[in-house]
Chain A
Amino acid sequence: AQSVTQLDSHVSVSEGTPVLLRCNYSSSYSPSLFWYVQHPNKGLQLLLKYTSAATLVKGINGFEAEFKKSETSFHLTKPSAHMSDAAEYFCVVSDLRGGADGLTFGKGTHLIIQP
């Protein structure tokens, strides 16, 4: 069985300051891990994915995430927040089966950007 825990339901940062969204996972296999972003009234957009290549993964819009097997973590970071980053972020783990039936979503983290 696999699971995903997003440690914060809400994160609030000031524009121009760093962003850290935390995600821990458990999986019986070597997982694939994803971060998706959902802006208000929009669908989910893929930010980045980890699939057992480099442990530091760079995504779109300046986001990156580091896979740490020893800590079973896949935290999402960005050096400097922008107002347009305000959105819901989902950490997702995929097991060996892959596809939608193998996906487990975290509950989401709502990112608030203060001006």
Chain B
Amino acid sequence: DTEVTQTPKHLVMGMTNKKSLKCEQHMGHRAMYWYKQKAKKPPELMFVYSYEKLSINESVPSRFSPECPNSSLLNLHLHALQPEDSALYLCASSQGTGGNTIYFGEGSWLTVV
């Protein structure tokens, strides 16, 4: 079972709202990732968690705050977003961070109004 589950599938939020995106995998993977994808572009890496510790933050603005409560869950907390943050947010996981295949979820469509 190579499944990464993301909720919600769609989210509309105002610029003053606080919301969260959630991601879950039960494949025993120890690395989890957040990507941002704009229309007609490849995904861009935001964060990497390895063994529940943040290992990479690709200079993402602080209005995006990741959290890894345990090895199966990954959250992305959103606060004071801008309209240009509207995008598809993809969660992914892999067995480790060294040469392993990365499996993606279906994504959460975020619209900031």
- Where the two chains meet, the residues of A that have a C-beta atom closer than 8 Å to any C-beta of B are 32, 34, 36, 41-46, 49, 51, 88, 90, 94, 96-103, 105-108, 110
Contacts and interface: CB of A to CB of B under 8 A. Distances in A.
Which of the four size classes fits the interface of chain B? 20 to 34
Given A49-B101, A98-B100, A100-B31, A105 B43 contact: yes
B103 interface: yes
Contacts, number: 72
A32 B33 contact: no
A64 B2 CA distance: 20
B112 interface: no
Interface of B: 2, 4, 6, 31, 33, 35, 40-43, 45, 48, 50, 55-56, 90, 92, 94, 96-107, 109
Contact of A98 (B2, B40, B41, B97): B97
A90 B41 CA distance: 10
Contact of B48 (A45, A51, A99): A99
A10 B20 CA distance: 35
Contacts of B104: 36, 43-45
